[in-house]
Amino acid sequence: MGIASRLGRAELDRAAADLASAGVAIVPGVLTESEAASAMEHLWAASAASEARGIPAHIVGLDPNASNVRVFNLLDLDPLFVDLVFHPDAEAIVGELLGHDLDRKST
């Protein structure tokens, strides 16, 4: 068993509901300002690496404009995002939706 989530029941319920309805959940305080800035730098670097592989970050006809940036295979491009997927709070939120007995595969 990993480190326990720091989220309370109300935060967990709200985040799980947001994720279920909107496909995204904003959970304040999970990352520090510095960690969030670093993750953004990693994201832009991963986008450049993906484009270097020949995978476009913008798909005409699918994306509304060039400001909509996609990064496919993000977990393959930077291990930081693997760490974020397995963050205790992220696992707790996903567990609320999919069940807490998911089999965690090694990466």
CB 82 within 8 A of CB 46: no
Is residue 107 pLDDT above 70, yes or no? no
Q: Tell me the per-residue pLDDT of 17-46, one tens digit each, with 9 for 90 and over.
A: 999 999 999 999 999 999 999 999 999 999
Alpha helices by DSSP H, listed for the chain, are 9-22, 33-52, 74-77, 79-85, 88-98
pLDDT in tens, 63-102: 888 888 899 999 999 999 999 999 999 999 988 888 877 6
The answer to whether the pTM exceeds 0.85 is no
Measured distance CA(65)–CA(53) in Å, rounded: 22
Cα(29)–Cα(83) distance, integer angstroms: 16
CB 89 within 8 A of CB 7: yes
